[in-house]
Amino acid sequence: MQTYYYALASERFLIQEEPIAEVLKERTRYYHEQEKEIDFWLVKQPAFLEAPQMAQIKAKCPQPAAAIISTNSQFITWLKLRLEYVVTGEFQSPSETIPEALASLANVS
Helix (H, G, I), strand (E, B) or coil at 85: coil
> To the nearest whole number, what is the mean pLDDT of the chain?
89
- Chain-centroid distance of CA 47 in Å reads 11
Contact between residue 91 and residue 71 where contact means Cβ atoms under 8 Å apart: no
pTM for the whole structure: 0.87
Cβ neighbour number for residue 71 with a 10 Å cutoff: 17
Render pLDDT for 87-105 as a digit per residue (tens, 0 to 9).
Answer: 999 998 875 555 577 888 8
Nearest to 50 by CA among 98, 94, 3, 106: 106
Topology of 2-101 in CATH? Alpha-Beta Plaits (3.30.70)
Contact between residue 42 and residue 21 where contact means Cβ atoms under 8 Å apart: no
Render pLDDT for 71-86 as a digit per residue (tens, 0 to 9).
Answer: 999 999 999 998 888 9
Domain boundaries, the chain: 2-101
